[in-house]
Structure 1
């Protein structure tokens, strides 16, 4: 029963991992930007959640009404700067890591490096739980799972069912052909970066609900988030969700059967195996060469290619 409890709790917690990884995965897969500054936006959102809830008396969940638009603007501004400066994929790793370090330092200077946690009076969700038979689930993990499914599911539907979403998919498949069809990748890229920032606000709020905060925690997210991105497939949202749940369940089971210290070893061992057998991710199907034409045609664009038949 302990193993089942740990597996299910870890699976629900995996929703938070997936939500934290979604912004990194989609910008990497579509825009070819490895945006480590995304972790800084999550960290800043978490601290703002604590501040707004503790000082202003806001419900912690409702703080996204403020942090969401703020991170939307910040994420869009970051992507706009990356694009205008012509940051390459490799350079984005270095530049965004520098931005992350700056964000961590700013947070340390403003809030100090001490642990911060919302009190039980401010955050009643931290001590609440839902029981099903002999299984007990913290409300914070249930919220993380439900919100992650809702946000990632909605983003997937937008990518599949709207013209901007199909245009982004076409751009991700082949930038040259997408540009020839008149797709404005700069505007769409900025919008995608902004939406990614908004997801960081939600992830930061959910993390603050269940955990104590310290500025250095942003660096601790690297391993788990990149594991989710790689296992799910870079740029694939539903794969990211599935991988987050898988990583959460695996980590929970290994922590009980072996030890918490063994969980990273097993997790990264699984990543090595996946990279060898399925280098594009566990949940990615190989796309055909006609993908871009199909996507652009479905978006209602003319199927001409500058004089080519």
Structure 2
């Protein structure tokens, strides 16, 4: 003790030197400052790496799930929420049903003026169908060799008009005239009364026959322009009349004179159709004239020996 005290007293600067040495060693052992910018950068990179890993896993899951089953949520990165399927997407769409074919009716006339007295196309077509059914039931059923008239769709309606009843066929109705070109040329004149077909008249084959005339008046057109011979001189007036016949392609105009009037006929696919109203008693049949496209007279029923010029 006495020695230490003596040494200390002998070297009063010794304690100061020891403290100085210890302080220097402590300074040398102090850790370096923490690099905060580098730590923050590494943390950001690590979060990005984790986010990409979660997103990839979600995409891999979507690859094996049905389309539209899930969608990745935004913001949180790892959130996955159910999504509604797109209503426009169908896993198995039903094919559209095939429409049932609708049977076509007869062809319409060339002009609306060939449907007269308030008789529309549908009524005329229905009347034609009834007439063909009447022919099948009353002729073919009784005589298998009688030729079938086909269907209404095979024909063209060329005239429909009021039918005035007479002593031989009482009751008013309407008449329908239809023609066809194939498979065999045909012409039908039929009267419908009370929804039933009556008095069907048909003509099959070439309407010109062996004749070379340019115009061929229908030999049964009298069914349209005269009343019963039982009422001769006492027809019901006014009386709607009609006239039909065939004409060749070289014909450009046909006129029909009846009573005190002359009417120009409508040309409809190789046929001519004329109508009018009779307001007086007559004894002579209509007079038919045909002209070519230059206006030259090429047919006159007054010069046709096969044409009946007076009424029975």
Fold equivalence (TM over 0.5): no
Higher relative contact order structure (alpha carbons within 8 Å, sequence separation ≥ 6): 1
- What is the TM-score normalised by the length of structure 2? 0.22
Compare the two structures and name the one with the higher strand fraction. 2
Larger CA Rg, structure 1 vs 2: 2
